[in-house]
Structure 1
Amino acid sequence: MLPNTSICRLVTLSLLALFAPSAFATNAKVLIYSATEDFRHDSIPTAIQALQSKGPSFDIQFETTEDKAQFTDQYLARYDALLFLDNTGEVLDDLGKAALQKYLDLGGNFIGIHAASDCLRNTTFYGHEVGAFFDYHPALQNATVDVIDSSHPSTSMLPAQWHVQDEMYNFKSDPRTIGATIILSANESSYIDTGTRLNQGTPHPTAWFQERGAGAESNGTAGRSFYTSLGHLNETWQDELFLAHVFGGITWTLQSNTTLAFNTSAEVGNPSVSVDPTSSSSSTTGTSTSSSSAVISVPPIDVLPLKFMVLSIIAATFFPWLSSFYLGRFVLTAYF
């Protein structure tokens, strides 16, 4: 039988393992922008509901807007990624486009879904960020999508040949020309398309990613970009395999380490600690650095995670042998 002290240590370590990860987790914040000026998909509300309901399982908080006036430097800076959902037409004015450009230059991440490639058609930097502009699609029908890269988090769960009912998008250019990596391809022999395709490259691009979003300016800090052209139907957004594909792309995008949810030196995003907006900073291509004069404000005691407070009380009351060294480490972790 273990001595009492050993049992106490075992219980305490188990409690720490149980409480610590969730107590200090940081939620990423993503803005869903679903404004439309041309065709509007009736699946938009279903898509938003699916994203928001599953978000907490991935430590992601989704907020939504269709108000182009929200595209300001201050508003966009709150988010670790922008998710353009089924947008069509001129959904931003010049001020909004400038704010979007600045957000991308500061390391903001981008996710585009389905018709997101059919908006802002004359805005070059947006076309580069999404990867390619939509051209046309044949009639909605059953088709096969081939997995080109099964190692990506958005495709690792998919069968090698994925049978879907969706619109097989064609594009005005090849996403590979701006540095995108194709991960899904429409199998052109599996459906009927009598249209004239432009030079979109081979294999047929259907979903892709960019390690460094090409919409950021050359002197900016580029975040990641992910795009999937699938997602037309309400039924699609109720399919668990499709949602796994989408969330795989979202979580991969958020891991760029260019936003405040994961990098305290970043210049945009949802921070785990607050960065004084008056502090000066500079950025170079591929990196983000804050000056030594940046002021980090420590959260007040009342935001200390409740689970940690409970754990501390338990430890202090029942396990007095627990050293202040370990307790101190947890306090520092909670704050910094």
Structure 2
Amino acid sequence: MAASTPRVLIYSATEQFRHDSIPTAVQALKGAGDTYSITFDATEDRTLFTDGNLSQYDALVFLSNTGEVLDDTGKDALQNYLNLGGNLVGIHSATDCLNTTEFYGKEIGAYFDYHPEIQNATINVVDASHPSTSMLPAQWQIRDEMYNFKSDPRNVGAVVLLSADESSYTDDGERKYDQGSPHPTAWYQEQGAGVQDGGTPGRSFYTSLGHLNETWHDETFMAHIMGGIQWALDANTTRAFNSSASVGNGDASAVETTSSSAPEASQS
């Protein structure tokens, strides 16, 4: 039982391709907040990545980000937040941002490489015991982008939950990297690998799904997303669940929701 309502910050800034599903996703997450007893704030303002502001949150959700969405000050604040037990959730192209920031790459699990054309595909549930997958059919039929990655997330200790069935869709792209087998589509880290030595690792959860607006209206997909977020919060490393923790459960009334006018670039 949470001591109080956990607070989560959605960060959806983009510097390259911008998904038109971002506003739909933000609305869907905020709408699910009451059901799951989670307070969501949303921003695209990188200047809010400060030690003081991030310390209010029990988890950060990086939502469909692309490109260099934080400056050095923001990256330092993110590293400090993770070191203090903060939790990270990444959705869709959150693996296609901060591509040269080593700790972020470890915390998210792997970086995006490329995807074939959007199409219908089968997702296999590798681990049905996780809160993000327990409600899913063993073979989940979905229309989305089947991401390929530049490394195997298992290399940093991630546990793969969902796997793309490569026989169910067409991918004519060139595989330059070893992403491991079975094909990783969603995963978690019980202790986020981006935390520096001596830090208190929180949890990390990532799903590559979520490209289309209609996906965010799908009850099964939302149960997958919210199960992952709730699991991350259950790390007990933040104030909503642990009164002796160093971050979480603060007053975020100063947070402002901003919009981005970043140009579209290569698709993610």
Q: Tell me the TM-score normalized by structure 1.
A: 0.73
Aligned partners of 2:195, 2:34: CA distance in 1, in Å? 29
Deviation at 1:195, TM superposition (A): 1.1
Runs of 4+ in 1 over 3 A off after TM superposition: none
Q: Does 1:232 align with 2:232?
A: no
Paired position in structure 2 for 1:201: 180
Structure number having the greater helix percentage? 1
What is the CA deviation profile of residues 126-180 of structure 1, one whole-angstrom value per residue up to 9, with x for unaligned ones? Answer: 0001000000000000000000000000000000000000000000000000000
1:26, distance to aligned residue in structure 2 (A): 1.5
- AA aligned to 1:242 is F
> Aligned pair 1:134/2:134, yes or no?
no
Please tell me whether the aligned partners of residues 211 and 224 of structure 1 are also in contact (alpha carbons under 8 angstroms). yes
Distance 2:98 2:152 in 1: 18
Name the residue aligned to 2:140.
162
Task: Calculate the TM-score normalised by the size of structure 2.
Answer: 0.92
- SS of 1:250's equivalent? helix
**Alignment deviations for residues 269-295 of structure 1 (CA, whole Å, 9 cap, x no partner):** 0069xxxxxxxxxxxxxxxxxxxxxxx
Work out whether residues 264 and 271 of structure 1, in 8 Å CA contact, stay in contact via their aligned partners in 2: no
Match of 2:16 in 1: 38
Which residue matches 1:70?
A: 48
Percent sequence identity is: 67
Structure 2 match to 1:59: 37
**Residue in structure 2 matching 1:101, options 79, 83, 95:** 79
Q: Which amino acid letter does the alignment assign opposite residue 74 of structure 2? A: G
Q: Which runs of 5+ in 1 are unaligned?
A: 1-20, 273-336
**Secondary structure at the counterpart of residue 227 of structure 2:** helix
- Output the amino acid matched with 2:229: I
Residue 247 (structure 1) aligned with residue 192 (structure 2):
no
Tell me, what secondary structure is at the counterpart of 1:69?
helix
Match among 204, 211, 223 for residue 202 of structure 2: 223
Q: Which amino acid aligns with 1:255?
A: D
Q: Say whether residues 1:79 and 2:57 are aligned partners.
A: yes
Q: Is contact 1:31–1:63 with CA below 8 Å preserved after alignment?
A: yes
Q: Does 1:148 align with 2:126?
A: yes
Structure 2 match to 1:258? 237
Alpha carbons 1:103, 1:268 under 8 Å: kept: yes
Partner of 1:297: none
Q: CA RMSD in A?
A: 1.2
Helix, strand or coil at the partner of 1:111: strand
Q: SS in structure 1 opposite 2:245?
A: coil
User: What is the distance in 2 between the residues matched to 1:205 and 1:86?
Assistant: 18
Q: Using the alignment, how far apart are the partners of 1:189 and 1:265 within structure 2?
A: 49
Unaligned runs of 5+ in 2: 252-268
Aligned residues: 250
1:294 maps to which residue? none
Residue 142 of structure 2 aligns to a residue in which SS?
A: strand
Paired residue type of 1:243: M
C-alpha distance in structure 1 between counterparts of 2:31 and 2:215, whole Å: 15
SS in 2 for 1:82: strand
Query: What residue in structure 1 maps to residue 93 of structure 2?
Result: 115
Measure, in 2, the Cα distance between the counterparts of 1:153 and 1:176. 19
Query: Which of 1 and 2 has greater Rg?
Result: 1
**What SS does the aligned partner of 2:47 have?**
helix
Instruction: Tell me the equivalent position of 2:254.
Output: none
CA distance in 2, matches of 1:270, 1:26: 7
User: Could you tell me which amino acid in structure 1 is paired with residue 228 of structure 2?
Assistant: G
Is contact 1:26–1:59 with CA below 8 Å preserved after alignment? no
Task: Note the C-alpha offset of 1:196.
Answer: 1.9
* Partner secondary structure for residue 251 of structure 1: helix
Asked whether the equivalents of residues 15 and 68 of structure 2 are also in contact (C-alpha less than 8 Å), the reply is yes
The change in CA–CA distance for 1:94 and 1:271 in structure 2 (over 3 A counts) is: closer
Q: Which of 137, 153, 160 matches 1:175?
A: 153
Structure 1 position 267 matched with structure 2 position 246 = yes
